[in-house]
Amino acid sequence: LVLSNDTALNSLLSKLLQDYLERTNSSAPSQVQSGGDNLEIVYVLLMIGLFGVFTLAATLTNIRSRKLEDPREPYNMYIDSDIWPKKDMAYFQAKLVENYKLCSVFENPLAVEQPNTQIPEVKSS
């Protein structure tokens, strides 16, 4: 049984391969395949074209908006100035001094070491 099933499968596969080779080697091209191929190519070219137009428009818009900014404009000079790190350091130092002034130490006179007094010991009975 195994031999006959294997032989039937081999003959089926060889027949399918021969049919495929005959269709690909035939001199008459299929009209359905050529029409489908043309539409696929047109679709791919259309998608690439739309993506290219969108990318080009975004790039040109970005370049145009950057050219409109004047580097000598007061706002841009304010942003480019190096004043922010200095202001941050001054603010940090002011906060540090303020926190230092708020700190205080409370002394508990009973908790301070007193070498002359002895701690009473509890004797267990």
Read off the pTM.
Answer: 0.30
Geometric angle at alpha carbon 85, from 81 and 88, rounded to 5°: 130
CA-nearest of 90, 72, 89, 68 to 80 is 72
Give how far Cα 60 sits from Cα of 5, 22, 68, 104, Å: 67, 54, 13, 63
Cα separation, 106 vs 2, whole angstroms: 98
The answer on pLDDT for 16 being more than 60 is yes
- How would residue 53 be classed by pLDDT, with cut points 50, 70 and 90? very high
The answer on pLDDT for 1 being more than 50 is no
Beta strands in 11-72 (DSSP E): none
Are the beta carbons of 70 and 76 closer than 8 angstroms?
Answer: yes
